Amino acid sequence: MTVRKKTAIFISGRGSNMRSLIEAARDTEFPASIELVLANNITAPGIAAARDAGVKSAGIVGSSFPDRLSFDKVLDESLRSAAIEIVCLAGYMQVLTPWFVGRWLGRLINIHPSLLPAYKGLHTHRRALEDGVRIHGCTTHFVTPELDSGPIIMQAAIDVGVSENETSLAARVLEQEHLIYPRTLALVASGAARLKEGRCVLEGHSSAGSALVSPTI
């Protein structure tokens, strides 16, 4: 029988990555089970989507806490009382305190819509188009206190089309996010990807030997 790691997802918005994780974890062979969804915003549409998918979910109102640390302590308590082992950030728009990150180091992962270390922060697709990059994509990584800077676990790259705009590029990258996030969670939950001495170690991984070239001539 597959040992399944109890997983929580933090969201702030629509939760499409959250849904891709919930979907993947419906397979009883998947090495993680999604037990809890928490949002830092009670109006996040993802809260209802999680509930509809049968996952316990809640929004926590940040303004009722004196500071970020008190808020993160409540998050931590909720995780511990649900015996959570892994936390996935999926469009969670609040920076976590170093205290929280330290407590969950190696068990806290994020997805970011760019090929890190390029385009940390917001408006990644707009900035990539402004720079005229030919290849763009998304990255999953272990979370460290510095924003979007933790060890990379998985990336997906797409070519940037000639008539691409921010909306079309975001949609194409999002499609890839929905593929790599469940795979990333499976790697971390099974122990195949782990944080060791500040790097992501991948067990049993060999290069596929392929390259994405754009434009192809």
Among all chains, which residue has been given the structure tokens 């929580």?
A: 8
Tokens of 174: 């999002």
Q: How many angstroms separate the CA atoms of 163 and 49, rounded?
A: 33
CB 136 within 8 A of CB 114: yes
In the list 111, 158, 187, 195, the residue contacting ligand GRF (rule: CB under 6 A) is 111
Instruction: Give 73 or 149: the residue with its C-beta nearer to ligand GRF.
Output: 149
47 contributes a contact to ligand GRF by CB under 6 A:
no
CB 164, min distance to ligand GRF, A? 16
112 contributes a contact to ligand GRF by CB under 6 A:
yes
Amino acid type, 14: R
Q: At what angle do helices 16-24 and 166-190 cross, to 10 degrees?
A: 40
- The closest alpha carbon to 33, from 82, 98, 78, 75, belongs to 82
CB 217, min distance to ligand GRF, A? 31
| 112 given a catalytic annotation | yes
Stretch near ligand GRF under the rule CB under 6 A, chosen from 9-17, 99-107, 149-157, 186-194? 9-17
Q: H or E element: which one contains 18?
A: helix 16-24
13 contributes a contact to ligand GRF by CB under 6 A:
yes
CB 119 within 8 A of CB 133: no
Among all chains, which residue has been given the structure tokens 């640390």?
A: 69
In 3-state terms, what secondary structure has residue 140? Answer: strand
Instruction: Give 61 or 147: the residue with its C-beta nearer to ligand GRF.
Output: 147
Stretch near ligand GRF under the rule CB under 6 A, chosen from 7-15, 75-83, 99-107, 154-162? 7-15
Q: What x/- string results for residues 61 through 100 when contact with ligand GRF is judged by CB under 6 A? A: -----------------------------xx---------
Please give the residues from 155 up to 184 whose contact with ligand GRF meets the rule CB under 6 A: 174, 177
- The closest alpha carbon to 182, from 49, 35, 23, belongs to 23
Please give the residues from 17 up to 36 whose contact with ligand GRF meets the rule CB under 6 A: 17-18
Which residues participate in catalysis according to the annotation? 112
Residues that bind ligand GRF (CB under 6 A): 11, 13-18, 90-91, 111-113, 174, 177
